[in-house]
Amino acid sequence: MFNFDDANRKSKEAVDTALRTYSETARGFQAIAAEAADYSKKSFQDAVTHFETLAGAKSFEAVFELQTSYVKSSYESFVSEATKLGEMYADLAKSAYKPYEAPIAAAVAKTGRQAPAATPAAA
């Protein structure tokens, strides 16, 4: 027989889990946005400083050396920032999935079926 109290409790748990997940996800996206904004500001300031230095160069060799150094440091900074943002997105995905791990595992165990294995993407 259908038990309304159990259904009500499960429904409340599901809503609480969803709200908690949405809140954590919003905080994660805010942190990512703040990190991206900080990187953009720093990158812009570095570019302005570079062009001021470049304008004061006295020879083609000095310009070439300054430009090479700037491009190398900009690339390294970009790769570092992209790695950091990638890790932040991965952590966000893990934290968003975590509250649903146990209920999904319990539901799969209750049905007596095995969870579908992850298949590699078709080539």
**What pLDDT is attached to residue 5?**
80
pLDDT tens for 21-49 read 888 889 999 999 999 999 999 999 999 99
Exposure class string for 13-47: b at 16+ Cβ within 10 A, else e: eeeeeeeebeeeeeebeeebeeeeeebeeeeeeee
pLDDT at position 118, please? Answer: 57
CA distance 68 to 54: 11
pLDDT of amino acid 123: 45
In this prediction, residue 107 carries a pLDDT of 79
| pLDDT at site 27 | 93
Over the chain (123 residues), the average pLDDT of each successive run of 10 is 77 84 90 96 96 92 94 96 96 85 80 62 52
Interatomic CA distance for residues 1 and 107, integer angstroms: 19
CB atoms < 10 A from the CB of 99, how many? 16
Sorted by sequence, the CB contacts under 8 Å of residue 100 that are 6+ apart come out as: 17, 21
pTM of the predicted model over 0.85: no
